[in-house]
Structure 1
Amino acid sequence: MRVSVVIPALNEEATVAGVVRTVLIDAPFEVIVIDADSTDNTAAVAARAGARVVNWRDVFPELQPIPGKGESLWRGVAAASGDVVVFVDADLVDPPAGMIHTLAAPFTDPDIHLVKASYARLLGDDSAGGGRVTELTAKPLIRLLHPELADIDQPLAGEYAIRRSSALRLPFVAGYGVEAGLLVNVSGRWGRASISEAQLPPRRHRNRPLSELSPMAETVAAVLLQRAGLTHAGFPGERPPLSDRI
């Protein structure tokens, strides 16, 4: 099983090298950093750390990028060539070694299509309680609208894995609602049993101000509402399945 690691990055020069070096310990088939037009040294730092850096405009250059994380993941799946794609956020602080093996291991079961990381999200004082959008927006809406997924510990986790063949058949929300969209779509297409969880050590991300979290929460809410058939608008675009292009 060939494992491709895709790391979406936008102005993450402070942390991306540590993430790249950590995932390389697991010797995946390839490590790709999708650079979303960073204005700092993210691309150079990632390349020096050992990643193949691809500017998102170089994947389907005829398409103008839609701003947002999901766009980077969609183009990252297109750029990857492994059997399994593991997504890892570029802003992790002290990422744990071994997470690529852990996230890829469940795919020995042919009925597994998506593996989500399960972990405690830490705040600056090392207490649990991070992930404000997850706890205050995603989980309540999932319990109400998609109760079959209510047991997922980290529905918005940026560390997760998907069969590339499955990813090619799914639409990708262009923005920060991509994780919520993929979670619901995989469950809807292949059933809740097709989603597994993998336990990882406690995690610390760069905590963002409320001014950044508010639009993220709005996008996640819009995606979950749309997937439940309650609205048809509200999130910033969606890319169709890559199988339509590849």
Structure 2
Amino acid sequence: MNNNWLKKNTFHHSEFKDIDRLVEEKKRKKIKISLCLPTLNEEKTIAKEIIIMKSELMSRFQLLDEIVVIDSGSTDRTMEIASSYGADVYQADDILPKLKKFKGKGENLWKALYITTGDIIVYLDADIKNIHHRFVYALVGPLLLFDNIKYCKGFYDRPIATDKKKMRPTGGGRVTELVIRPLFSLFFPELTQIMQPLSGEYAGYRELFERIPFPIGYG
């Protein structure tokens, strides 16, 4: 692991809390920013995510230009709720219908490139219970303020409950720590700089996302 690289390229969300500065940089660069929420049966959390992002990052600050929901075929009220709160909602199977249909989150992420209009695309999981608009501005900040950064991925102190119902911080989830990070260390050591590779919150420039594959299926 390259500690010098990590120190230079790791940020805390508080470094980008001056959202006015981010908006000014966005205007100066004349770019648009899209937020994509891939969904599958997220009726319990989708409304709160849309409400917070619209109120804080579209109304109060004009950082986001659109919020797009790409749904995998929810059987609950996810699409109805998302639409009622002002998101642009699409069924993944209805996008590029001439192409073969696949299942999985990667299908939603890839098809979002066809639907969204932003130069920067932010992807957020739609089931975040402690959602806050910093989930977006912390990802967008490095992309706007540093010309050499084209992709940004979130990682977190993940609190877990102890036997006494107290919370203590920890690192990534079990799959990350027991499988993914050891796998990277063995076969892709340069990727060990990514602290929590399975986190569902990341952002990057469209020109980058359009050059890489998006795996399909559910793990």
Shorter-chain TM-score category? 0.7 to 0.9
TM-score by length of 2: 0.75
8 Å contact 1:89–1:159 — kept in the other structure? yes
Larger radius of gyration: 2
Matching residue within 183, 188, 191 for 1:146: 188
Amino acid at match of 1:85: I
1:79-118 aligned within 5 A: 79-108=115-144, 109-118=146-155
Whose relative contact order is higher, 1 or 2, with alpha carbons under 8 Å and at least 6 apart? Answer: 2
Matching residue within 32, 54, 58 for 2:94: 58
Rounded to whole Å, the distance in 2 between the matches of 1:49 and 1:137 is 38
* CA positional deviation for 1:160: 0.4
Identity of aligned residues (%): 38
TM-score by length of 1: 0.67
Contiguous gaps of at least 5 residues in structure 1: 177-215, 217-246
Rounded to whole Å, the distance in 2 between the matches of 1:165 and 1:131 is 30
8 Å contact 1:121–1:128 — kept in the other structure? yes
Contiguous gaps of at least 5 residues in structure 2: 1-30, 59-63
* CA positional deviation for 1:97: 2.1
Q: Supply the RMSD in Å over aligned alpha carbons.
A: 1.6
Aligned residues: 177
Rounded to whole Å, the distance in 1 between the matches of 2:208 and 2:120 is 9
* CA positional deviation for 1:56: 0.7
Q: What is the CA deviation profile of residues 115-142 of structure 1, one whole-angstrom value per residue up to 9, with x for unaligned ones?
A: 0012112335533346222112111111
Q: What is the CA deviation profile of residues 51-109 of structure 1, one whole-angstrom value per residue up to 9, with x for unaligned ones?
A: 11111122101123211111110011211110100000011102122221211111132
Q: Which residue of 2 aligns with 1:39?
A: 75
Rounded to whole Å, the distance in 1 between the matches of 2:150 and 2:217 is 22
Question: Is 2:42 the counterpart of 1:12?
Answer: yes
Matching residue within 174, 197, 200 for 1:132: 174
* CA positional deviation for 1:111: 2.3
